[in-house]
Amino acid sequence: MAGEFEFAGIKEIVRAESVRRKKWYEGKPILSMLLLGLIIAGCLNCSLIMTKDPSYMDLQNYNVPPNREFLFGTDTMGRDIFSMIWYGGRISLFIGIVSTVISTVTAVIFGAFSGSAPVWADRFLMRLTEILLSVPGLLAVIFMQAVLGEANVYSISLVIGITSWMSIAKVVRTEVRKLRSSEYVIAARCMGGNFFYILRAHLAPNFVSSIMFMAAMNVRSAIVAESTLSFMGIGLPVEVISWGSMLSLAENALLANSWWMILIPGGFLIVTLLCITDIGNYLRKNMNRMESNL
Amino acid sequence: MGRRILCFLLSIFLLSAVTFYMARIAPGDPLVSYYGDRAEKMSPKERKWAEEKLGLDDPITVQYIRWLERAFHGDFGISYKYKTDAVDVIKGRAGNTLILGGIGFVLIFVLSLLLGVLCAWNEERLLDRMICKIGTAASCIPEFWLSLVLILIFSVNLRLLPSSGAYTVGGEGEISDRIRHLILPMVVVVASHLWYYAYMVRNRLLEEVRADYVLLARSKGLRKRSIMFRHCLWNMMPSYLSIMAVSVSHILGGTYIVETVFSYPGLGTLAYESARYQDYNLLMVLCLMSGILVILCNMAAQMINEMIDPRMRTAPVMSKSRKSRPPEAAGKAGK
């Protein structure tokens, strides 16, 4: 019997279905990116899109509902809302971005400084941030705006920027605290790298992913803060067109029951905010993928 | 305990000093709020007399020390605009804000727990995903715009609810009238904060459900419902409570905007007016009040944590509770 094998059959090779590769667009917030891109492009190229001069007050056609000539209607001062949306969007987005840059830079420097300072200074600085953090943000903004007096685009961005850096600073500080005694930071310090060099070359790459989402959310809250301030009459004056100052005419709109003056600028505002949130959420999920243990 | 009280007093003192100096350095004429338009027509001599009468001609530091001295005796000066004691002006308004903010807070507290549990129970199912989407969208809507749209729908077009004030003139005592005036502002206050806390509850619960003790409880044969409510929910309570304690100031800050939109006679409109018209004494009392509230809430949060979870006794609790907030916190902080 030796040497004889019974032929039992060949086991078929199971051809495993090759794992379908993800298309480039899967899992990415395509719709939000597209919408946000459209809005930004429209605002940047507003001179091509606008059908009317946004600041011209057409006193014959005030408070006109949307029609062929005035696509989104006109406001109570006779200005064309369609043109104002694109023209004013630039200022709203500008304020959002500038104040985020201000707050993020402040937060990174403050956080890194506090993280690498001796313990007592760190404790003091963090106490300070906690106190500042517990003041309702908008109240602080209102108060500072009252102190600065007449608002313009830059002063508003500044005020919003310096009232919203605290939470990012705390995150940066925690990360820096973790990193500061690691070998490569010590090595860099031994070789004479100064504070800003170490921050840029060694510390920043480590915390950039965790503050990305917060920075995106700061853009969002800055835009909201600007529009709220302008709406309440302590932000941008009515002549400076932004989405917020367009809404500051809302009281008149309510009296005249003209829905287009409230819904259209607000709609643009909210779509922009939603897009930013969506992209921010995507950033967070993608960046923090390693940390999740679920 | 002694150290804590010292800290508290020190912060109050610093807050009062900062507010005082900032308000006085700010451009603007406090005489306008006292004398109205007449202030602009005053001759220099009259002006000087008026400033002397209100004690505004001394250096700021002297004014501050004088204010401090009086404040220790319980005298916070008179409101320039209302010409009566600042504390009395506030007393008349505080009730309204307390009703709006207090009921709003309770509603947010209960609803966010319910919504969070509902989401965590149906994790990744249709209901959960739908609530998450709607909640994210709702949290993007600025408070003032939501109020505007609600006014547009319910009071301008449907004529169901009043658009402003806390009561109809003459009907101050009627409860039904009060409630009707309260509905719209309340909806805005709750809607704009609810998702933020509900999302936190959901995420904490999802973390909790994955812990080992849940597996043990399951293998012992406990029912899902009792694990969820008896164990998971209780375990996340400390962090939830401490966040809710800190949130008091945020919810109050939110009611301020809502109050101004609905011209609801509360502290928010008062603070706004006093900051705009340089009503120094009133502004100081309001700032101090909100400062004290904020600090008390933070202390309460710390105390709750220490009571429930002894591990937190030495660690700085504020940073702990902040870290456990959902990442949405960053977005809201500026709000």
Query: CB B331 to CB A142 under 8 A?
Result: no
- What pLDDT is stored for residue A138 in this prediction? 67
Q: Is the pLDDT of residue A106 over 90?
A: yes
pLDDT for the residue numbered A96: 92
Of B252, B298, B334, the CB nearest to A163: B334
Residue A149 with chain B: CB contacts under 8 Å: 26-28
Query: What mean pLDDT comes out for the span A64-78?
Result: 80
- Selecting from A135, A146, A170 the residue whose C-beta is nearest the C-beta of B294 gives A135
Q: Are A286 and A276 in contact (CB under 8 A)?
A: no
Q: Cβ of A167 and B333 within 8 Å?
A: yes
Window 275-294 of A: residues touching B by CB (8 A cutoff) are: 277-278, 280-281, 284, 294
Distance from CA of A168 to the nearest CA of B (A): 7
- Contact assessment for residue A243 and residue A89, using Cβ atoms and an 8 Å cutoff: yes
Report the phi/psi class of residue A138: left, alpha or beta, with left for phi > 0 and alpha for psi in -120 to 50: alpha
Chain A residues touching residue B156 (CB < 8 angstroms): 254, 257
**Among A130, A225, A284, beta carbon nearest to B318:** A130
The yes-or-no verdict on residue A192 having pLDDT over 70 is: yes
Structure tokens at B106: 């309770």
pLDDT tens profile B155-186: 888 888 887 777 776 666 677 888 888 888 89
Contact list, A281 vs chain B (CB under 8 Å): 136
* More confident of the two residues B153 and B164: B153
Q: Which amino acid belongs to residue B236?
A: M
pLDDT for A288 equals: 56
**A230 and chain B in contact, CB less than 8 A:** no
Which pLDDT tens digit goes with each residue over B240-290?
888 888 788 778 777 878 888 888 888 888 877 777 777 777 878 887 887
Q: Which pLDDT score, from 0 to 100, does residue B4 have?
A: 76
Report pLDDT for A294. 40
Distance from CA of A109 to the nearest CA of B (A): 18
DSSP letters spanning A30-87: HHHHHHHHHHHHHHHTHHHH-SS-TT---TTS-SPPS-SSSTT-B-TT--BHHHHHHH
Residue with more model confidence, B12 or B189 = B189
Per residue in B24-78, pLDDT tens?
776 666 776 677 666 667 777 777 777 777 777 777 788 888 888 887 887 777 7
Q: For A188, what's the count of Cα atoms within 13 Å in the CB-facing half-sphere?
A: 17
The reply to whether residue A149 touches residue B294, judged by beta carbons under 8 angstroms, is: no
Whole-angstrom distance, CA of residue A223 vs CA of residue A68 = 30
B18 neighbourhood in chain A, CB within 8 Å: none
| pLDDT class of B1 with cuts at 50, 70, 90 | low
Most confident option among A52-66, A236-250, A251-265, B129-143: B129-143
Distance CA A67, CA A169 (A): 49
Contact A226, B335 (CB under 8 A): no
Q: For position B311, what pLDDT does the model report? A: 64
Rounded to 10°, the helix B86-121/B233-261 angle is 130
Cβ atoms of residues A56 and A44 within 8 Å: no
User: With contact defined as beta carbons under 8 Å apart, do B97 and B265 qualify?
Assistant: no
> How many Å apart are CA A101 and CA A86, to the nearest integer?
23
For chains A and B, what is the number of CB pairs under 8 angstroms? Answer: 152
- Report the mean per-residue pLDDT for chain A: 82
Q: Return mean pLDDT, chain B.
A: 79
- Of A106-120, B250-264, B307-321, highest mean pLDDT: A106-120
Instruction: Scan residues 88-107 of A and list those with Cβ closer than 8 Å to B.
Output: none
Structure tokens at A183: 């070998």
Which residue of B lies nearest to A159 if distances are taken between CA atoms? B334
Q: Which of residues 167-196 of A touch B (CB under 8 A)?
A: 167-168, 170, 174
pLDDT (average), residues B302-310 = 75
Among all residues of chain A, which has the CA nearest to that of B296? Answer: A134
